[in-house]
Amino acid sequence: MKKEIKLSGIPVVSGWGVGKAYFVGRAVQQTSTVSISRQDVGDEIMRFNEIREKAKKNYRQYITDLGGTTVDVSVLNIYEHILDDPAFIGQIVETISSKLYDLETSIRLVSNDFINRFNSAGTAYFKERSSDMVEVCEKLISYLYQDNGRAKTFMEPVILVVLRTFTPTDILSYDKSKIQGVVTVSGGKTSHAAILARSYSIPVVSGLQNISESINPGDQVLVDAEKGIVYVRPSTTVVSRFKRQTDSEKTLEELKSKWRRPVYTTDGIQIDVLANISLADDVDDAKEFGADGIGLIRTEYLLSNRKEMPSEKAQYEYYKQILDKADNKPCVIRLMDIGGDKIPQFFDMPLEFNPFMGWRAIRIFLERKEIFETQVTAILKAGINREYSIMMPMVTTLQEWLEAKAFITKVASRLGLKRPKCGVLFEVPLAILEMSTFLKEIDFASIGTNDLIQYLSAADRNNAKVNYLYNPIEPAFLRIIRTAIKCANDNGMSLSVCGEMAGNPIHTVLLVGLGLRRFSVIPRNIPLIKEIIANISFAEAAESISHIDAIESTEDMDEWLKNLNKRLLGNVLEKLPLTVGV
Ligand code: PEP
Ligand code: MG
């Protein structure tokens, strides 16, 4: 067996996990296998024929589109020949039916086999055929991921090795319970993929270069996302050292049962701790971890792994399921935040150089009113007799907001319903700096620190390289948050913070001190945040915060925050199972 090696990266979602390496992002490289039962053979073969036809149609379309241009389309004909090649088809069918591998594994194994044969033939012609094979294999596999919500299952725990930027689909395409960790080339702490991983307690280490030179598919990999270290083929000593850490999970169980009730500071101020969720099943987690409601439903995840925009009926069922499960606790349904790094496969998105600054969320809605109308109609119908409100992401100007609100009012009156409470997610600098002008037009406010930090610091939330600039305790950023919270409090406006910053227990005292009374965080961290709140006085926290104006650098702020936590919390933080922080 090859020796253990250690790779260093950037911790993105903390925690640790161990499993077999499963490669994502370069189809033919993956050789670890997924088995199926005999009764699935027919389905897999049928699926193969479907995606083969789709791929052929797609290549033919390219040929038509390029007709009349000077582009040489002969290679596209070669792809079609490969897809019709009886030897290729026969081997895949044979691999599925006699070796009982799933379609993806079978495509990979057969393609690899062809590639090896072409490569060993040695001539330039055959070498070229091997890259054609890579293209066809990637193409076919890409169709498998658009397979209407079917998540791939594994027989054993895996570590996903993502050979490109980590995206939400990388998690949603697989059985989440088997993913023990993710190692990836790129992806920042508040990328949407990282947020999703955090809410499922999946540790992530990013910023690893040349991963495929150090890890082979199927290798045992241990991810230590506290330190950002990845052990490839770890020794038994290393594995058992990590296994001992599971003690902290016991503490979490205790806190979970303790905090299925509201929390008050020691001086009697009630603080709401709600959950951020994406899928209907996440409401079960929210309840299990003691959420006082759902403060952010990221509805765009409804679109993941779908072939087309979900109908009003499909959307209605999703919202109804969430609202039914929520037992009449408040639920904030955020309208779809399409764009940025959340582009559904079927969505006709123009190519943009700067997607996070481009056509996103409300900007899409105001132009594509039919999408807006379908979503609002489905929510309003599902919300009859329920405790819910609607939140709009990425609002920049008051004008945009007024237009959106008027549209929601119009849909409600068409349905003969009252307009629900509507609020703004403040995540664009212009909007938060102008919060006071929004106040008379909104029913509630929430601060989306994930985007707000990236827009204020001009540091992409997905880019591990500029992560050093992306910092929630940057003094200038905290001063903006303080002004916004004060503005809402002075006007009696309900305000929450729902970005990842609010879910990190290190920031709880700070945010309470800034006057925050409503947190919305990943379910797992709810009991931890409540435990901290129960140990502090609202007035004392507020008093301590008055010093932040004098702090000029992030380093000084970091030092000050550590001392503050120590002074107000003693050793409460050290005793908490802080495994999934930002
Ligand atoms: C945010 O930007 O802080 C937020 C809550 O929205 P998202 O992370 O989904 O962009
Ligand atoms: Mg956002």
Residues 340-351 pLDDT 10s: 888 887 888 888
Q: Which residue has the tokens 């591990």?
A: 464
72 CA to centre of own chain: 40
**The pLDDT value given to residue 177:** 83
H-assigned helices in 211-262: 211-214, 236-243, 247-258
498 labelled catalytic: yes
pLDDT at 29 exceeding the cut of 70: no
Q: Which ligand 1 atom sits nearest the alpha carbon of residue 427? A: 2
How far is the C-alpha of 511 from the C-alpha of 516, rounded, in Å?
Answer: 6
**Atom from ligand 1 closest to the CA of residue 298:** 9
User: pLDDT tens for residues 39-56?
Assistant: 889 999 999 999 999 889
- Whether residue 231 has pLDDT greater than 50: yes
Q: For 290, list phi and psi in degrees, rounded to 5.
A: 85, 30
Q: What is the pLDDT of residue 581?
A: 42
Indicate the top mutation candidate among 282, 392, 427, 470 to test ligand 1's pocket, ranked by most ligand atoms within 8 A of CB: 427
- pLDDT for 149 equals 38
Question: Which tokens is 566 given?
Answer: 């120590």
Structure confidence at residue 537 as a pLDDT band (50, 70, 90): very high
Q: Is 507 a catalytic residue?
A: no
| Cα–Cα distance measured from residue 55 to residue 114, given in angstroms and rounded to the nearest whole number | 19
**Given the CA of residue 190, which atom of ligand 1 is nearest to it?**
8
Greater pLDDT, 137 or 261? 261
CB atoms within 10 A of CB 426: 29
The residue to mutate among 167, 190, 447, having the most atoms of ligand 1 within 8 angstroms of its beta carbon, is 190
Q: Is the dihedral of CA 184, 188, 194, 198 positive or negative?
A: positive
Look at 196-200, 231-235, 370-374 and tell me which has the smallest mean pLDDT. 196-200
H or E stretch covering 358: none
* DSSP structural state of residue 14: -
Q: What number of residues does the chain have?
A: 582
**Quick check: 303 and 547 in contact, CB under 8 A?**
no
The confidence score (pLDDT) of residue 145 equals 63
CA of 376 to the centre of ligand 2 (A): 19
pLDDT for the residue 580:
43
Question: Would you say the CB of residue 188 lies under 6 angstroms from ligand 1?
Answer: no
* Cβ of residue 435 lying under 6 Å from some atom of ligand 1: no
Alpha carbon distance 460, 470 (integer Å):
8
Task: Give the Cα separation of 238 and 105 in Å (integer).
Answer: 31
Distance CA 446, CA 384 (A): 23
Distance CA 456, CA 368 (A): 28
Which of 120, 88, 109 has its CA nearest to residue 32? 109
Reported as type and span, the H/E element at residue 159 is strand 158-165
From residue 17, how far is each of 20, 183, 196, 432, 474 by CA, in Å?
10, 11, 16, 39, 31
Distance 450 CA to ligand 2 centre (A): 6
On the question of pLDDT at 325 being above 70, the answer is yes
Tell me the CA–centroid distance for residue 168 and ligand 2, in Å. 14
Residue 514: pLDDT above 80? yes
- Of the ligands numbered here, which is closest to the C-alpha atom of 336? 1
**Nearest ligand to the C-alpha of residue 448?**
1
Residue 298 CB–ligand 1 contact under 6 Å = yes
Domains of the chain: 5-26+151-246 (3.50.30.10), 38-144 (1.10.274.10), 264-527 (3.20.20.60)
Average pLDDT rounded to a whole number, residues 254-268: 94
Q: How many CB atoms lie within 10 A of CB 318?
A: 20
Residues whose beta carbons lie less than 5 angstroms from ion ligand 2? 427, 448, 451
How far apart (Å, rounded) are the C-alpha atoms in residues 372 and 45? 38
What is the average pLDDT score of the chain? Answer: 89
The structure tokens listed for 9 are: 């990266």
Q: Is the CB of 451 under 6 A from ligand 1?
A: yes
Q: Kindly give the distance from the C-alpha atom of residue 556 to the centroid of ligand 1, in angstroms, as a whole number.
A: 27
User: Residues 291, 283: contact at Cβ < 8 Å?
Assistant: no
- Decide: 141 and 107 in contact? Cβ < 8 Å: yes
- Is the separation of the CB atoms in 385 and 396 below 8 Å? no
d(CA 194, CA 187): 7
Could you give the C-alpha distances from 216 to 1, 2, 20, 210, 282, in angstroms and in order?
A: 13, 11, 10, 12, 33
The residue from 137, 487, 498, 507 that is catalytic is: 498
Least confident of 133-147, 174-188, 305-319, 560-574: 133-147
Query: What DSSP state is assigned to residue 342?
Result: B
Which residue, 380, 381, 399, is CA-closest to 390? 380
Q: Is 201 in the pocket of ligand 1 (CB under 6 A)?
A: no
Q: How far is the CA of 499 from the centre of ligand 1 (A)?
A: 6
Q: Which residues pair with residue 521 across a beta bridge?
A: 275
Other Cβ atoms within 10 Å of 279 Cβ, number:
19
Q: CA–CA separation, 277 vs 183, rounded Å?
A: 23
43 C-alpha to center of ligand 1: Å?
38
Question: Out of 192, 331, 487, 507, which one is annotated catalytic?
Answer: 192
Nearest to 14 by CA among 505, 559, 377, 414: 505
